[in-house]
Amino acid sequence: MFHAAPSPGPKRTPLPPSPSPASDAPDPQRPDERRGRTGEQRDPFFDNAKYLAIVLVALGHSWATIKSDNRFLETAYNVVYVFHMPAFVIISGYFSRNFDLRPQRLKRLLTGVLVPYVVFQTAYSLFRIHVGHTGDRHVDLFTPWYLTWFLCALFIWRLTAPVWRMLRRPLPVAVGLAMLASVTPGLGGVLELQRVLQFLPCFVLGMCLKPEHFRLVRRRSARILSVPVIVLAVALGWWSVPRMDAGWLYRNAAAQDLGAPWWAGPVTVLLLFGCALLLTACFLAWVPGRRLWCTALGAGTLGGYLLHGFAVKGVLYAGGFEADWLHGPLGALVVTVVAAAGMTVLCTRPVRQTFRCVMEPRMDWAFRRIAPQASGERARTDGRAAGAVATPVAEQAAEPEAALAR
C-alpha cells in the first residue's frame, strides 16, 4: 500500500524521494487532511491500534488500584504491562523514521509535545497538591509525574532520531544503553531518564521497521501463531504474580533500586524487550485493518491519555476504590467496563476540540514565519535524511507524538 500505481509504458525505477499519491495517509503539507478530516486518507490499522492500546493503558491504571489479592486481575495487569507501552513506543519510533531538525518539524515537536508536557505536568502537580493533599507541594517541570513521563521521553527520542538514523547498528547501541541504565541507581528522577533509556530500544526498533514488517504480522498465519503465545504469556503471568516484583514492568528503576543484584538489570532488560516485542506482534496481529466504529477515535488518543489520569487519581483521592466489593470479580468487571467506556469518551472529537488549545496549540505568534520549501528541494532533503521513500503514511501519526497522535 506504500507504492504508487504503475504507469503505462516502459518500466522505470521510481525516484526514492517521491511520495506516493495513492498513499493511505494525507500529505503532511496539507494540514486539513493530515488532521484526519478526510478519513479515508489515514490508515485505519494504525488508528485502530492506537485506540485499542490506549484502552489498555486506562485498564492498567484502573486495575492497579484494585488488583491486590486478586490473582486473576494481577495476571492480566502483568501481561498488559509487558507490552502496552512498548507498543506505543514502537509505533512512535516507526512514525519518527523521517524526523529531522527542519524548522517546521521542530515547531510541531515544540507545540505538539513540549507545550502539552509543560501544561499537564503543571496541572497534574497542582492536582496532586490541592486535591490529593500530598506532602510534596512542589511543581517541578524536570521531574515528570504520573502520565507526563511519556511526553518528556518522546521529546528526547524525537530530538535524537537523526542520530539513530546515522548509526550502522542503532538497535544494539540502544539495547546497550538500556542495559547500562538498569545498573545505574538514582537515574530515574530528572526527566525520567531511567524510563527514557529502558524504553529506548523500542523506539529505535520502531525506526528500523518498514511497512512490510507490519504487513507480515497482519497475516492470518500470524494470528494463528499468536494464540499459543498469548496462552503461554497468561500462564507465565499467573506464575509470576507471587514471584516477581511488578516494579520491573515499569522500567523506571535500576536493579539495585529494586533490591536485586546488579546483573539482574541487564538480564531483565533483554527478557522484557523480547517479551514486549513478541506480545506487541501478537497484539498487532489481531488489530483490524478496516475502518470500524472506533477508528476515528484513534486520532484522539492524546486527549484520552492526558485526561484519564485526572479521573483515575480523582477517584483514588476520594476513596472510591476502597469499597470491598470492588476487589472481587464483580468489582473488577465494573472497573474494566467503566475505564474502557471513559477512555472511549475522552478520545471523541468534542473532547479533542475542547482541549485543542493546550494539546495542539498553533502558537504562530511565538515563531518566525517559516518559508515553505520547494517540492523538489523538500523531496531531496527527505531522501537524504531518511534514506528511504518519505511516504505520506509515515506522517500519519507524526502529529504530536505518533502513538498518541491527535
Per-residue pLDDT of the chain (406 residues; tens, 9 = 90+): 334 444 444 444 444 443 333 333 333 333 333 344 434 468 899 999 999 999 999 999 999 999 988 899 999 999 999 999 999 999 999 999 999 999 999 999 999 999 999 999 999 999 999 999 887 888 999 999 999 999 999 999 999 999 999 999 999 999 999 999 999 998 877 899 999 999 999 999 999 999 999 999 999 999 999 999 999 999 999 999 999 998 999 999 999 999 999 999 999 999 999 999 999 999 999 999 999 999 999 999 989 999 999 999 999 999 999 988 898 899 999 999 999 999 999 999 999 999 999 998 988 888 888 766 554 445 444 444 444 333 334 345 444 444 454 3
pTM score, whole prediction: 0.82
Tell me which residue of 56, 41, 5 sits closest to 393, measured CA to CA: 41
In contact, 378 and 279? CB cutoff 8 Å: no
Amino acid letter at 225? Answer: L
pLDDT of 10 reads: 46
pLDDT of 396 reads: 53
The H or E element containing residue 237 is helix 220-240
Q: How many residues does the chain have?
A: 406
pLDDT of 65 reads: 92
The H or E element containing residue 159 is helix 149-166
What is d(CA 206, CA 95) in angstroms, rounded to the nearest whole number? 8
pLDDT of 133 reads: 85
Tell me which residue of 335, 332, 343 sits closest to 309, measured CA to CA: 343
Q: Which residue has the cell 501478537?
A: 282
What burial letters (b/e) apply to 135-153, b meaning 16+ CB within 10 Å?
Answer: eeeeeeeebbbbbbbbbbb
Output DSSP code: residue 2. Answer: -
Amino acid letter at 42? Answer: R
